[in-house]
């Protein structure tokens, strides 16, 4: 007997392409972290470091606060992981962008590039950003399967990762 529950669909095996992309992402991220500790301000542009810290602050908000918001507003059963939401979350950082954890990761990789000021870090950031953006498409499809029309309406009103457009829409709706 075949089941069509969200839990069954989310347990699909990774394809070879997804596995390769995950390996490339992980290696890129690890190399970028190593570069962050080995090189700092290679171009000697202090302003980029300050901008990097500002972007890093946003990455912390979107990367960390979103986990707490997800668990609190997603009606997660006690003792369960934050990903086991039973309710669509559209408050806090989720009112600005649909995938704040992914945005937090993207902003973090950009901040590392601004701190190190290395071409190789820029190339790694581009790889990480492209792969992260690609994963949001699959995430949207999974969430449509899980939440149906509610997620479809949410998807139409809140941008995927566009922070600027998300902030504009958020301010308009307040």
Counting every residue, how long is the chain?
174
Query: Of 103, 133, 145, 167, which Cα lies nearest the Cα of 21?
Result: 133
Asked if residue 108 lies in contact with residue 52, where contact means CB atoms within 8 angstroms, the answer is: no
The pLDDT, as a whole number, for residue 5 is 43
The pLDDT, as a whole number, for residue 116 is 94
The pLDDT, as a whole number, for residue 83 is 75
Cα 41 from chain centre: 26
The pLDDT, as a whole number, for residue 14 is 63
The pLDDT, as a whole number, for residue 44 is 87
The pLDDT, as a whole number, for residue 174 is 72
What span, in angstroms and rounded, lies between the C-alpha atoms of 109 and 131?
Answer: 12
CA dihedral 48, 171, 144, 105 (to 10 degrees): 20
The pLDDT, as a whole number, for residue 8 is 42
Domain boundaries, the chain: 13-173
The pLDDT, as a whole number, for residue 12 is 52
Asked if residue 99 lies in contact with residue 129, where contact means CB atoms within 8 angstroms, the answer is: no
pLDDT along the chain (174 residues), means of 10: 42 74 95 91 90 96 87 80 82 93 96 95 97 93 92 94 92 82
The pLDDT, as a whole number, for residue 9 is 46
The CATH code of the domain at 13-173 is: 1.20.120
DSSP secondary structure string, 11-79?
TPPPPHHHHHHHHHHHHHHHHHHHHHHH---TT--HHHHHHHHHHHHHHHIIIIIHHHHHHHHTTPPTT
């Amino acid at each position: 007997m075949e089941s069509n529950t969200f839990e069954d669909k989310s347990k699909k095996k990774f394809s070879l392409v997804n596995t390769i992309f995950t390996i490339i992402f992980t290696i890129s991220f690890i190399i970028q972290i190593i570069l962050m500790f080995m090189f700092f301000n290679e171009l000697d542009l202090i302003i980029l470091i300050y901008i990097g810290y500002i972007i890093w602050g946003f990455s912390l908000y979107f990367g960390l606060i979103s986990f707490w918001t997800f668990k609190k507003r997603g009606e997660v059963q006690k003792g369960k992981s934050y990903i086991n939401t039973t309710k669509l979350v559209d408050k806090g950082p989720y009112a600005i962008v649909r995938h704040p954890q992914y945005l937090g990761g993207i902003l973090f990789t950009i901040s590392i590039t601004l701190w190190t000021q290395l071409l190789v870090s820029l190339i790694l950031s581009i790889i990480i950003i492209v792969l992260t953006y690609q994963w949001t498409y699959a995430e949207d499809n999974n969430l449509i399967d899980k939440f149906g029309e509610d997620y479809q309406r949410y998807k139409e009103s809140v941008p995927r990762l566009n922070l600027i457009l998300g902030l504009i829409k958020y301010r308009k709706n307040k």
